[in-house]
Amino acid sequence: MVSDLVRRAEEWLEQDPDAETRDELRAILDRGDVPALEDRFGAKLEFGTAGLRGELGAGPNRMNRVTVMRAAAGLARRLGPGGHVVIGYDARHKSDVFARDSAAVLTGAGLRVSLMAHHWPTPVLAFAVRHLGADAGVMVTASHNPPRDNGYKVYWGDGSQIVPPVDEEISAAIDAVGRVDELPLGDGWDVLSDAAIVEPYLAAVASLPLGDARDLRVVYTPMHGVGGDILLRAFTRAGFEPPAVVQAQGEPDPDFPTVAFPNPEEPGAMDLALELAEKAGADLVIANDPDADRCAVGVPLPEGGFRMLTGDEVGGLLGEYIITRTTGPDRLVAASIVSSSLLGKIAQAHGVRHAETLTGFKWIVKAGDGLVYGYEEALGYSVGSDAGLPVRDKDGIGAALTVAGMAAQARRDGRTLLDLLDAQAATYGLHATTQLSVRVSDLSLIAGAMERLRARPPQALAGRTVLSVDDLNAGADGLPPTDGLRYRLDGDARVVVRPSGTEPKLKCYLEVVIPATGAEDVAAARAQAVRDLDTLKADLSSALGL
């Protein structure tokens, strides 16, 4: 076993073009570090609908130049010579290198490549694929993962991320790739300028239904990512005052020095932005994650201070805002199965079609024709107009602009986003959601928990009878199979349990719905929801056994 690991490591060294990972691997071999070899060569990063994502380092179980060149070669084989691929990248460690390696491999295989001239947000790449009529797109990013990670997303010609069977076909093609030092490499790719792609993107998001109110003080953080410059330009293009930026997080920095995790949902990540908002007397706080495809929103409280809205709260507000500002008899809105059920009730009330999809925007944007809005609870939103979605993926910049337009209109009307949330609760019932997320170091623990839940499903949670259990592995409501379980509880409550597709986590999504008919009822319903969700979370945690 050890001799086989050493042999594979030596073969890797012979073809690795990166001096940094060669030095890393040579040091591991020299000190005879078998666990490190097993970690890097005992498994490999699997290419799926999320592409590739993992820690930087040497070996097939890491993100590195060899892994990326193999992925590009597999994509080239799937597309065939003559295809057109757009490549974008963020500011993480090695992102620009991985992007150029991909361009070299793809052009060497006879494809046309358009490489972005700068580290720009993921939604710009997704927009570019359709705008340029390309056959595919590649975005080198690990989104909001830790600093030592990177990733490789693949988009298809419709501007959305790949889904089966394309991911399986690319994966098979990757497996057939030999040594990367024997791949033909090219250098004749096009470089996409700001004028060629960023300006059309800005024009598209500025034409969203933003209303005409613009009196708003906004604080913004790009979370050390690549969204800052383009978001500020988008706000100016749409007629808003540029937001005040959290300077310590304003420039791209792949080490993300001010946050433990560069994700607006993580504890402490928004502290600097909320501190600046207090000082500035802001009406709204907006954050993007590092590749700017997600958008977080914070609002001032009447008693002072700020609170961050949940993804479901923003999802419901944006959904109703877009529905009331678009026209047409065949509009569609969509959300993932782990998002709140509120959007469906809003759509029904307004006579608009609603669809529920599997988790991930690759599924949401394929919900059907006439899609004007889609969201998932993990701060992902794609906002459209009568012309449809300008970006067929989550877009943190377009969402930020639309939230600003919504908040400015509310301010003009003497209201706040909190008032709008109360109005929705009084109309549709209070839909309160939360998550239980368990991070593990051993993925077998997640598989074991899912097996236990399937074998011995709970009969009741938080005093609510479990009315039905949907095993999403078998498909449910016409959806493709996926690893997950959905529990429907009495009182219009719901729990979904699924392994994360991008992190070593088991994620549980909880929702309770409590009727409310007026301001006093809403306040009481919110207090009741906190108690119910706390009890539901405790009971579910016990059932998981983790």
Active site residues: 143
Closest CA to 424 of 438, 410, 434, 411: 410
Separation of alpha carbons 406 and 213, rounded Å? 8
How buried is 80 (Cβ within 10 angstroms: 0-12 exposed, 13-18 middle, 19+ buried)? exposed
The 8-class DSSP code of residue 16 comes to -
Rama region for 44: left / alpha / beta (φ>0; ψ in -120 to 50; rest): beta
Q: How far is CA 381 from CA 49, 122, 316, 485, in A?
A: 19, 13, 11, 24
- Torsion over CA: 73, 74, 75, 79 (sign): positive
* ∠ CA 324-325-330, rounded to 5°: 75
Closest CA to 359 of 252, 237, 486, 204: 486
> Could you tell me which residues come within 8 angstroms of residue 518 by beta carbon, excluding any fewer than 6 positions away?
426
Separation of alpha carbons 308 and 294, rounded Å? 14
> Could you tell me which residues come within 8 angstroms of residue 118 by beta carbon, excluding any fewer than 6 positions away?
194
Kindly report the backbone phi and psi dihedral angles of residue 257, in degrees, each rounded to the nearest multiple of 5, phi listed first: -70, -20
